[in-house]
Structure 1
Amino acid sequence: MKRKFKIGNENLAFEMTNKTIFDIDERFDNFGTVINGVMYGQNVYNNALKVMVCSCISKRFDEEKNEKPLTIDELREKLTPDQIVEEIVNFACDLYYDYRGVKRSTENEKDKSENKEESKKK
């Protein structure tokens, strides 16, 4: 599932794929360490940035029409304090959940499923 995130003036698309896993593993030595850091709060902000950089699927170009990939330094510079503190960790987790096919349920969905179960019992 593609997700959008605004960075500076750009709305960028992100998606975790098999390629992302290998890219994180190659660039940052160990995918497991990075994703566990995001999930369990170890070096959480830096690990969230690593996931975002490797998951960015938007094609960006400089003035000379060369592809310009998203970098960690660019994220550090352009993200707002609120985005850093409140959004990037959840966003990185959601990218991973989407990749693994995990769906977060809401309270409404829980209520609906409980009502269906009660109806079946009657």
Structure 2
Amino acid sequence: MEPNPDYRERREEEGVKKEIADIKAEMLATGENPLRIWRQRKGLSRRELAIISGLSYNVLNAIEVGNPKTISRQTLEKLIDVGVPGDIAGLYLRWRSRCRELLERKVAENEPCSGVWTGCPKV
């Protein structure tokens, strides 16, 4: 007997919620970019994600290093179309904001800024 569609839909939603919670936990523990975490968990290279999403490698690279002008609505829709949970964008924006705060603090305190985007603070 087939489970009813509502049950199947709820199970899929629960799976996505768990995936997002796991990604958020890893992001909090490591300071890593949530899109990169998702991509690596799926076993995709940036180039592969670029091909299946229709985005350029350079756009994906800019997103993963925190470029503030890269997540347009169109870019986000392309990522969601290939399975990136929409909540990842919210986590990404928090991650990028924390990285920017760290960079601004380092500049204000005349500290070296290298590696800020790859080793951001926990959010």
Larger relative strand fraction: 1
Larger relative helix fraction: 2
TM-score (norm 1): 0.33
Instruction: Determine which structure has more spread, i.e. the larger CA radius of gyration.
Output: 1
TM-score (norm 2): 0.32
